[in-house]
Structure 1
Amino acid sequence: MAWYPGAKKMELQPESDSQPAIVPTQLILHSVAAPWTKERIFEYWRDGTNLESHFGQSYDGSIAQYIGTQTRADACYLANRRSDGTGAVSIETASDLNHTDPWTDAQVEGLIRLGVWMHQQHGIPLRICRSWTDPGYGYHRLWPEWAQGGTECPGDARVAQFKNVIFPAIVARATGQPQPPVEDDMPTPRDLWAYKGTDVPYDAYAYLLDSNRRIIALSTQVAALSATVGTLADKLGEDVDTAEVVAAVKAAIAAAVVKVDVTVDDLTPGA
């Protein structure tokens, strides 16, 4: 049986010795639907169920291996071991309870490295599985034969990461090609409002930016108006206190600006 040198060996018994051999032809990625460490995943396989995966991964990206990759593990339903002796290698990864969070950067890196090793160690072809028996790489919900009763695992966010980041990087590293750039994932205005859980309409963010631009423009107008008031006061005669007039005008304008600032601040997320 083969053991991945990048993983902590936590051999699961009796399964590691008692379950039949396989010829590994697939690597299938899972989410465990719990924010567990690799050690906690091991404990669950040992004490809580008669199922198991070959690997487990914590949020920090670290990986443990419970069963050698040439021994059957029971996380992939019909792909665990097929009639021809081939089977899938599985890794369960820490996640939220509903398969909704993305893999962390550390998890992504760990999965890429494991994927490269699987290609180098077992000759897993560098393609996404084209059927449930086709050698290659995949994620749990890709084929119904991999999940009894169906599953959302590993969730939409992680499926997108697999397709756009993880699998392309496995191919790039395994073939010595430049790694594809990762797209900018800065949140959009819509994402920001959604994150705050507010029902403020999408246009509110654009309105906020426009309000700030108006404040800047108003400040420029204040300076110009102050200069104009000073000039007018000079022309009214020596009995007029120019500084006092200018100060009074500035104070009135500043009070208006403060009111605008308060209104804009009230609209900002989290205010």
Structure 2
Amino acid sequence: MPWYPGATRIELKPESSQPHIQPTQLILHSIVAPWSPRRLYEYWANSTSLESHFGLGYSGDLAQYLPTTIRADANAAANRRPDGTGAISVETASNTSASDPWTDEQAEELIALGIWVHREHNVPLRICRTASDPGYGVHKLHRAWSTSGTACPGPKRADQFVHDIFPEIVRGAGGSQSGGGTYTVRSGDTLSSIALGFKGVTWQDIARANRLTEPYVIHPGQRLTIPAGGKTAPATPPPKPVVDLSRLREAARTDPAKRGTAVSYSGAQVVELALVAEGLLSRSYADGHFGTATVRAYAQWQQRLGYTGTAADGVPGKTSLTNLGNRRGFTVKD
């Protein structure tokens, strides 16, 4: 069953036993409420409302409720057609009139998800020309996708989809730019994902051009040199950084040294940069010292996953750290 590695898995039951589909479309919605993915899950779990596969909060927190090969019921005629094809759907937090644009964090997550959908399910890189045409769209694009018509999403998001989000999905999934320039790192980027946007450029080319070595850490706002394409280095992704949970927990429980002094565990910066990418920590605090600001940021990450009380004390646990690593490109060892 396909579960997107960039989302927190919060499975809806018994909906996860609904009929299978062959995904041929990705359809984007607005919730018309400023809800988090957890709040959306609670709403669907306790009602008969029409669920989607994914829920996306304002801060870019993404949850998946159903495997993408199981029918979801938010798309009317596109839920599951007689031939077994159907749409993957994404609900996104919005204001109560669905009039606001997607935040930068939401847009970045939608782009990353759109790229994954293309690679995982071979959904073609085009906007759906009809209600049954394979491709990408917003819910309001075709009337058959709603039983009573829909204004979801609003004009600003519909415009974003056409002019910003969908072109970035195409760029990231297919690679349409030439090298020989620079690229500014955005939240969620990896060397591999950046290289996919440039013809004939591998992640190793970018690493060499910027003198990057293991664990190949990059951060939002960093400007990378993109070499000209044509080199033949293998396209195997770079090994992911490995974070030692026991050493990280020890660092989180220890009063850190002053900024500028040697850190006790270098893996702490990998986690801090992940928290920066999640919008929970200022880049200035990602210095390798798991200090008070980092503890507070990690507590917010735990709360985002649904933890409360002492379970959200800012000291990493295996499940919360693994979820963060799945989203931000590192692995965890005990």
Classify the TM-score, shorter chain. Answer: 0.5 to 0.7
Establish whether residue 12 from structure 1 lines up as the match of residue 12 from structure 2: yes
Q: Which residue of 2 aligns with 1:210?
A: none
Q: Which residue of 2 aligns with 1:31?
A: 30
Alignment map for 1:21-60 (pairs within 5 Å): 21-60=20-59
- Give, in angstroms, the shift of residue 51 of structure 1: 1.7
SS of structure 2 residue aligned to 1:31: coil
Establish whether residue 143 from structure 1 lines up as the match of residue 135 from structure 2: no
Q: Which residue of 1 aligns with 2:63?
A: 64
- Give, in angstroms, the shift of residue 165 of structure 1: 0.2
Q: What residue identity is the alignment partner of 2:3?
A: W
- Give, in angstroms, the shift of residue 139 of structure 1: 0.3
SS of structure 1 residue aligned to 2:158: helix
Cα distance in 1 between the residues matched to 2:153 and 2:31? 8
Cα distance in 2 between the residues matched to 1:145 and 1:72? 16
Cα distance in 1 between the residues matched to 2:135 and 2:118? 9
Amino-acid identity (%) = 58
Q: Which residue of 2 aligns with 1:100?
A: 99
Alignment map for 1:231-250 (pairs within 5 Å): none
- Give, in angstroms, the shift of residue 178 of structure 1: 3.3
Q: Which residue of 1 aligns with 2:282?
A: none
- Give, in angstroms, the shift of residue 176 of structure 1: 1.7
Residue by residue over 1:250-269, the C-alpha shift from the partner in whole angstroms, topping out at 9 and shown as x without a partner, is xxxxxxxxxxxxxxxxxxxx
- Give, in angstroms, the shift of residue 111 of structure 1: 0.1
Q: Which residue of 1 aligns with 2:223?
A: none
Q: Which residue of 2 aligns with 1:82?
A: 81
Which sections of structure 1, spanning at least 5 residues, go unmatched? 182-271
Q: What residue identity is the alignment partner of 2:76?
A: Y
SS of structure 1 residue aligned to 2:29: strand
Q: Which residue of 2 aligns with 1:168?
A: 167
SS of structure 2 residue aligned to 1:44: helix
Higher RCO (C-alpha 8 Å, min separation 6): 1
Q: Which residue of 2 aligns with 1:3?
A: 3
Cα distance in 1 between the residues matched to 2:62 and 2:177? 25
Q: What residue identity is the alignment partner of 1:23?
A: Q
Cα distance in 2 between the residues matched to 1:76 and 1:58? 20
- Give, in angstroms, the shift of residue 50 of structure 1: 3.9
Q: Which residue of 2 aligns with 1:153?
A: 152
Cα distance in 1 between the residues matched to 2:97 and 2:65? 24
Cα distance in 2 between the residues matched to 1:160 and 1:45? 28
Cα distance in 2 between the residues matched to 1:41 and 1:86? 25
Establish whether residue 115 from structure 1 lines up as the match of residue 120 from structure 2: no
Q: Which residue of 2 aligns with 1:133?
A: 132
Cα distance in 1 between the residues matched to 2:49 and 2:101? 28
SS of structure 2 residue aligned to 1:161: helix
Runs of 4+ with deviation above 3 angstroms = none
Structure 1 residues 178, 62: closer, same or farther in 2, change over 3 A?
Answer: farther
Q: Which residue of 2 aligns with 1:262?
A: none
Q: What residue identity is the alignment partner of 1:54?
A: H
Residue by residue over 1:63-90, the C-alpha shift from the partner in whole angstroms, topping out at 9 and shown as x without a partner, is 1000000000000011000000000000
Higher helix share: 1
Task: State which structure, 1 or 2, has the greater radius of gyration over its C-alpha atoms.
Answer: 1
Residue by residue over 1:199-222, the C-alpha shift from the partner in whole angstroms, topping out at 9 and shown as x without a partner, is xxxxxxxxxxxxxxxxxxxxxxxx
Residue by residue over 1:105-147, the C-alpha shift from the partner in whole angstroms, topping out at 9 and shown as x without a partner, is 0000000000000000000000000000000000000000001
Q: What residue identity is the alignment partner of 1:99?
A: A
Cα distance in 2 between the residues matched to 1:57 and 1:162? 15
Cα distance in 2 between the residues matched to 1:178 and 1:139? 26
Cα distance in 1 between the residues matched to 2:151 and 2:49? 21
- Give, in angstroms, the shift of residue 177 of structure 1: 2.2
Q: What residue identity is the alignment partner of 1:46?
A: A
SS of structure 1 residue aligned to 2:34: coil
Q: What residue identity is the alignment partner of 1:167?
A: F
Cα distance in 1 between the residues matched to 2:177 and 2:156? 24
Q: What residue identity is the alignment partner of 1:97?
A: T
Q: What RMSD in Å do the two structures reach over aligned CA positions?
A: 1.3
Cα distance in 2 between the residues matched to 1:158 and 1:114? 16
Number of residue pairs the alignment of both structures matches: 179
